Amino acid sequence: MRHLRTALAVLAAITALAACTTALPGTPKAGPSTRNVEEELAGTKSSDLRKVFTSTPQQVNDYWNSDRMKNAKPRQPQPGQTTDVPKDEPVGVVIHPTTGPVPPSKPQPADGSGGMWSKAGLSGSANGRLYMSYGNMNYVCSAQVVNSESGTIVATAAHCIWDTHEGREWASNVMFIPGDTNGSSPYGKWAAESIYAPTEFRRDATDGARGAQGTGWSYDYAFLRMRPLGGRNIEDAVGGQGIAFDTKAESIRTLGYPAGPPFDGRTMRTCSAPTYTENRARNNTLSIPCVMTGGCSGGGWFTRFNDSTGAGYMISSHSTGNDVTAWGAVMGKIAYNLYKSADAGA
């Protein structure tokens, strides 16, 4: 039995959460129209939120030879026009990491330097690098396993698996390497079975010369359902971080693999902040000082993070950044419904 607990409560009451309470149902809200692609997505069903892969894990592993992995380009859009969106409904659902509830701790220090992370405990196995391709171009992001009933769920940023440029397409050859260090794969290479991104992001987020544009960037999160490896689900092999949907953060630690200069993407890095900014110019987003560059996209922002056990509650993931400040989308009701769809394989 996995250490999975949900409740309608604020994060301050995590240790008192009841087991497996029913969460609020809901339907994702549509954002304002920006492109013709909205006609394609207008009648979105749950199955339209995903791409299901027909390639086998072996085919994905064969695709990612050493040269492609080494030359994969980091993904991280620059912040652009700020556009307000309706506030996403909070649900306050908290899911514990597989190591169990994380008690309160002192605030994280103010450190936006992107220093090397020790990969302590759960962070050294559940967090890693995510590879994907669009056509003949190969890219890399960051991601992490999060606790789920299915034991198959990896969380990242939507722009890592949906192209916001002219292609407007899903990624292919999606592979996750938990615990990646210097190109090693201590826990194996895991192929995605399906990938899920919000309609709001796919319809209303673009990226170009002026940086990230459109309301969709307020929903820059995604979930992946991973295929088994060696007869085991990924969570059984590496554990899973906690995740909290629109609950108040106490302080934040981010983890990821920045690959743009001065970083090289070969080691896990971190920023931390005792407080954060809730952005008024763009609802549903947070920001903290952080110099991490492209490649850390999709890396989790954790609250109540325990530096010794490497476990915490993911409240966002790295979305856009300008090498001084990082932005991440708040995961509320829309994110929770997406997570449930991925967990159910719907």
pLDDT of 202-247, one tens digit each?
988 888 777 788 888 899 999 999 999 999 999 999 999 999 997 7
Local structure of 219: helix, strand or coil: helix
Which of the four pLDDT bands, split at 50, 70 and 90, describes residue 2? low
Q: Identify whether the C-beta of residue 255 lies closer than 8 Å to the C-beta of residue 302.
A: yes
Q: pLDDT of 16-40, one tens digit each?
A: 332 222 222 222 222 222 233 333 3
Burial of 182 from C-beta contacts in 10 A (0-12 / 13-18 / 19+) = exposed
Give residue 282's pLDDT: 73
Return the pLDDT at 134. Answer: 93
What pLDDT digit, counting tens, does each position of 301-343 carry? 999 999 999 999 999 999 988 879 999 999 999 999 999 999 9
Q: DSSP string covering 238-301, please?
A: H--BEEEES---S-EEEEE---STT--SSS-EEEEESS-EE-SSSTTEEEEE----TT-TTPEE
Could you read off the pLDDT of 45-94 as tens digits, one per residue? 444 689 999 999 999 999 999 999 999 999 877 766 656 777 788 898 99
What residue type is 170 in one-letter code? Answer: W
pLDDT of residue 309: 97
For residues 179 and 189, what is the distance between their CA atoms, to the nearest angstrom? 10
Span 157-211, pLDDT tens digits: 999 999 987 667 999 999 999 999 888 999 999 999 999 999 999 988 888 777 7
Q: Determine the pLDDT at residue 181.
A: 86
Confidence grade of residue 9 (pLDDT, cut at 50, 70, 90) = very low
The CA distances from residue 168 to 53, 158, 245, in Å, are 17, 12, 27
Residue 300 confidence (pLDDT): 98
**What is the predicted pLDDT for the residue at 39?**
38
Burial class (CB within 10 angstroms; exposed 0-12, middle 13-18, buried 19+) of 103: exposed
Between residues 5 and 199, the one the model is more confident about: 199
pTM for this prediction: 0.87
Q: Look at residue 13 in the predicted model and tell me its pLDDT.
A: 41
Q: Give the separation between CA 15 and CA 44, rounded to whole angstroms.
A: 37
- Pairing of β 73-74 and β 137-145: parallel
Give CATH superfamily name and number for 48-344: Trypsin-like serine proteases (2.40.10.10)
Percent of the chain at pLDDT > 70 equals: 83
- pLDDT for the residue 100: 97
Taking the C-alpha atoms of residue 43 and residue 98, their distance in angstroms, rounded to an integer, is 36
| Mean pLDDT of the chain, nearest integer | 85
DSSP 84: -
Which pLDDT does position 176 carry in this prediction? 98
Count of residues in the chain: 346
Instruction: Give CA–CA dist 324/96, Å, rounded.
Output: 31
DSSP string, 87-143: PPPP--EEE--TT-PPPP-PPPP-EEEEEEP---TTHHHHEEEEEEEETTEEEEEEE
How far apart are alpha carbons 133 and 77 in whole angstroms?
16
Where do the structural domains in the chain lie, given as residue ranges? 48-344
Residue 71 DSSP SS3: helix
pLDDT digits (tens, 9 = 90+) for 122-146: 999 999 999 999 999 999 999 999 9
Residue 90: asked if its preceding bond is cis (omega within 30°), the reply is no
- The reported pLDDT for the residue numbered 93 is 95
